Amino acid sequence: MGFLHDLQTYAFLQKAFVTSIMVGIICGVIGSFIILRGMALMGDAISHAVLPGVAISYMLGINYFYGAVFTGILTAFGIGAITQNSRIKSDSSIGLVFSAFFALGIILITKAKSATDLTQILFGNVLAVRSSDMWLTLAIGSLVILVVIIFYKELLVSSFDETMAAAYGLKVRFIHYAIMFLLTLVTVASLQTVGVILVVSMLITPASTAYLLTNRLSIMVLLASFFGALSAIIGLYFSFEYNMPSGPVIALATTGLFLLAFLFSPKQGIVFRKIKAFNRKKLA
């Protein structure tokens, strides 16, 4: 296959390949916890809110990582502050905060850089991954995976039954912000591959697909990583072979996998449920 040959030949394609896989894995891992905690919207919010940070980093001439993490965290705290200190519901405060950050980001980016850069940040361009981006992604990925392995027990109990976790003395507020921090890191790592707008599809869709297929959190996390990585590779392939923007292709790939699970999953799939219901009726 041409793609495999090119993969062996071109260093830039190898970097893109490694980066995509890592992005797919960590999005699946963090995405699993995000959807179980009912924070899917939060993922969307953080990913949009890193934009002004990226812009400011360009202006200051520093790595976009620092600015992005800074505004990502600021957003998480802003949303938390509004939800806890007023009667505004959390989905409203999420929408309120992230649209403001996103708007600010667009204005700053158009001031700071050309329109092509904006497109790349918004929609991803996996083929433009540089060595430094790849190493950054690998570092973030290792950190995320390590934290999840070490604190798996605490993540499980605080996601499943936050009240019990708090009752036995876990700092659930701290855990919430720690997850927001990891989410911000993952988003930043995904910027090159999927872009700001579609990071949310990488976070939510592979995890949702996995959710339909298993009754165990550990397996859900593994499956979500696998689906994330697979989608990222599909995105890379189309991006390279057909010159398509990687973000949208990845998003569609995650959706395709989701639809397969939605229709054919043995436990939850609607096709099997219909067949079972039909057989039951026939017997009756």
Partner 1 sequence: MSDIISVKDVSVSYFGKQVLEDVSFEFKSGNLIGILGPNGAGKSTLMKAMLGLIPKDKGTIEINSKPLKVFRKKIAYVPQRSNIDWNFPITVKDTVVIGTYPLLGLFHRPRKEDKEWAMCCLEQVGMVDFADRQIGELSGGQQQRVFLARALAQKADYFFLDEPFVGIDVSSEDVIIGILKKLQSEGKIVFVVHHDLTKVKNYFDELVLINKQLIDAGPVQKVFQSENMTRAYERPVSMLSDLGVEM
Task: Please report, as ranges, the residues that interact with partner 1 according to CB under 8 A.
Answer: 36, 87, 150-154, 156-157, 159-161, 163-164, 166-169, 211, 214-217, 219-220
Contact (Cβ atoms closer than 8 angstroms) between residue 45 and residue 75: yes
Nearer to partner 1, 113 or 176 (CB): 176
User: In the bound complex, what is the minimum distance in angstroms from residue 194's beta carbon to partner 1?
Assistant: 25
Position of tokens 């050309």?
Answer: 114
User: In the bound complex, what is the minimum distance in angstroms from residue 68's beta carbon to partner 1?
Assistant: 30
Contact (Cβ atoms closer than 8 angstroms) between residue 30 and residue 183: yes
Quick one: DSSP state of residue 38? T
Nearer to partner 1, 200 or 221 (CB): 221
User: In the bound complex, what is the minimum distance in angstroms from residue 155's beta carbon to partner 1?
Assistant: 11
Contact (Cβ atoms closer than 8 angstroms) between residue 176 and residue 165: no
Name the nearest CA neighbour of 252 among 205, 212, 203, 213: 205
Nearer to partner 1, 171 or 274 (CB): 171
Nearer to partner 1, 7 or 156 (CB): 156
User: In the bound complex, what is the minimum distance in angstroms from residue 270's beta carbon to partner 1?
Assistant: 16
Name the nearest CA neighbour of 128 among 226, 247, 225: 247
Nearer to partner 1, 5 or 87 (CB): 87
User: In the bound complex, what is the minimum distance in angstroms from residue 89's beta carbon to partner 1?
Assistant: 13
Using H for helix, E for strand and C for coil, what is the string for 209-220? HHHHHCCCHHHH
